[in-house]
Amino acid sequence: MRSGQVTSGNRAPGTGPGPATAPASDHAARTLLATGQQDTNTAGLAMPEGVAFAGTTSDHLVTRMSGVPASVGSEMRFQPDYSALMRAMSAPDVAKVLYNG
């Protein structure tokens, strides 16, 4: 499980259909997370229910959320595919926590 810390969020009018991965909503919340292409393969992250991928940069991931926006400082969890997991595990600035169970 990969998580990213929420660094910013806002509620803004939707832009219509937009990218195929972003929900078309009149009041979708955009959330900026401190996880980007340097940390993982963002295309390989399965988004939680109600969250859609909106874009990425080298150090941030942008999502669109339906419902209540995430608060700054909270974490959002993702299910990585193999590529996303391997890039995260080899990134020197990504904390790794291993569970026995």
What is the pLDDT confidence band of residue 17, given thresholds at 50, 70 and 90? very low
pLDDT of the residue at 4: 67
Region at 21 (left for phi over 0; alpha for psi -120 to 50; beta for the rest): alpha
Residue 6, C-beta contacts closer than 8 angstroms, at least 6 positions apart? 31, 32, 33, 34, 70, 71, 72, 73, 74, 75, 76
Domains, the chain, ordered by start: 2-90 (2.40.37.20)
Report CA-CA distances (Å) from 59 to 32, 38, 42. 10, 6, 10
Q: What percent of the chain has pLDDT over 90?
A: 39
To the question of pTM greater than 0.75 for the whole model, the response is no
Report, as an integer, the average pLDDT of 52-60: 93
Per-residue pLDDT at 22 exceeds 70: no
Position 97, amino acid = V
Nearest to 51 by CA among 32, 38, 64: 64
